[in-house]
Amino acid sequence: MDTPRCEQLHNLCFQEEKMSKPVFKVQTISVYISTTLVLLLLGAMGILFVAAQEVSKSVQDNLGVSVIMNSDAPEANILKLRESLGKSQYTQGVKYISKEQALEEQKIELKSDPVEQLGYNPYEAEIELTLKPEYANQDSLAVIEKSLLRNKDVKEIIYQKELMDSVNEGIQKIGLTLLLFLVMLTLISWSLISNLVRLSIYSKRFLMHTMKLTGATWGFIRRPFIISNMWIGLLSGVMADVLLAAGLYILSKQEPIIAAYLPTEGLAIVGAVVILFGITICSLCAFLSVNRFLRMRNNDLYFI
């Protein structure tokens, strides 16, 4: 390679270093703002998905199962069953209510004594189960019910079948709807950010062609554009997370109950995904856009 060519490539290296740092021009600022808004919408949908999952989990946690014992069941057997249920894989909570305790609770609720009216205690001992969310469905409950009814001390199993069916059906519909919205928003985000990145690179198409003519490899030409757009994706993602955090803080101050359905772990995952999505999509769009311009002949660059 001759001396002028070496000198020119040296200057291109300097140009690459300059281009690797985001330059805050009007066009660049508009790309930052637009990318931030797109990532903000994506993050908001992610938070809605996390909140919906948490609400469904909370509803499933409150779907209890009552194991009613026979009136002649020995207390020792009941306590043994309670201990066994406490160790089972499908329960996350077990509560034993004796006949006497059930009577006292009803006295308070009814403000009268059923024993005085009936002459005997009409209530049976029971064990209340709180199931793990993955077992709060009809299929699992049918197996659990069949297993418990094999015990001769168990009289019946009570749970709200219709409510459980409607809750599970509602959860599936909400989850599917949010998933479809996320997919649609991801595709829209890709289209918008791709166009923004392409426009930001468009003005440098002749520079890229000049670099190609002087012997620079495609990888060498692509690198500054990819690095620059990675910065745009990173900073836009951070800005979107800051805006989301500020919005959630204001909402939680006005409605404290909202915080109960927004777990820190879930929010952290959404925040990380927003940043990673911003970096990935911006750098990938830059890669594809630069390749598109590099494939063009010199004359074609004037007609796009």
What are 212-234's pLDDT values in tens digits? 777 778 888 888 888 888 998 99
| Residue 61 in tokens | 């946690």
We find that the CATH architecture of domain 64-159 is: 2-Layer Sandwich (3.30)
- Pairwise CA distance, residues 40 & 275, whole Å: 10
Residue corresponding to tokens 């418990």:
148
What is the pLDDT at residue 43? 92
- Pairwise CA distance, residues 32 & 27, whole Å: 9
Mean per-residue pLDDT, 95-119: 79
What are 138-194's pLDDT values in tens digits? 788 888 888 889 988 888 988 877 777 777 777 778 778 878 887 887 788 788 777
Tell me the domain boundaries of the chain: 3-58+168-303, 64-159
Q: What is the CA radius of gyration of the chain?
A: 32
> Residue 20 in 3-state DSSP?
coil
Helix (H) or strand (E) holding 56: helix 26-61
Global confidence as pTM = 0.67
Q: Dihedral through CA 263, CA 240, CA 280, CA 188, nearest 10?
A: 100
